[in-house]
Amino acid sequence: MKTMEGNKSIHQAFFVLKFRLIAVFCAWIRKSWYRLQGMQIGSKTLLPSIKVNWPHQIALGKACKLETGIHFKYDAAWKPGPSVRIGNHVFIGSGCEFNITSHISIGDHSLIASGCRFIDHNHGIEPGLPMSEQDCPAAPISIGEDVWLGCNVVVLKGVKIGDGAVIGAGAVVTKTVMPMEIWAGVPAHKIGERRKQ
């Protein structure tokens, strides 16, 4: 019995060491490295393993929680930043992608579930011109405060999502969503509203 309790204590200590202390230390090193490259990172925001091509284009607010595998891809030539502005107390799940040419902002207290994609530009489809030579029109994306995006939501160029809105998993958002509305589907459409009680 004592051996089992001892083994349990050793496993718990190993878990704390591996997943808490080492992870926090690595996140602190990563945060320092990205700050040296121009990324703005608020207090109490720790960085897991992420991909960033232009760190100076990213501004993260205070006390944000980011999971691993997020890709911040500024998809344009170098210019002063930031072009990706994320508010305070925002959660971003694993595997999210920010493919930005223009600008994206996410308001305070928003929840972005795993696998969401934000793409603020698209591709021209003019006939007679090869796809590789088409213009790529862009327009900023704006996500309000206290918004919840379910898993694998895709938000396209020019979309504005109002405060308190909810977007169902797997939706493709192509139009403006008003505050407190609930949208779902491909393409996304309104299916309800959140009501204050």
DSSP letter at 46? B
Rounded distance between C-alpha atoms, residue 93 and residue 113, angstroms? 5
Distance of CA 69 to the CA centre of its chain: 10
Q: Can you tell me the distance from the alpha carbon of 42 to that of 36, in angstroms, rounded to the nearest whole number?
A: 14
Angle at 184 between CA 172 and CA 146, to 5 degrees: 90
Coil, strand, or helix at residue 80? coil
Tokens representing 106? 């996410």
156: which strand partners?
A: 119
CA torsion 197-146-28-116 (nearest 10°) is 120
Catalytic entry in 56, 121, 123, 189: 123
3-state secondary structure of 97: strand
Active site includes 109? no
Active site residues: 123
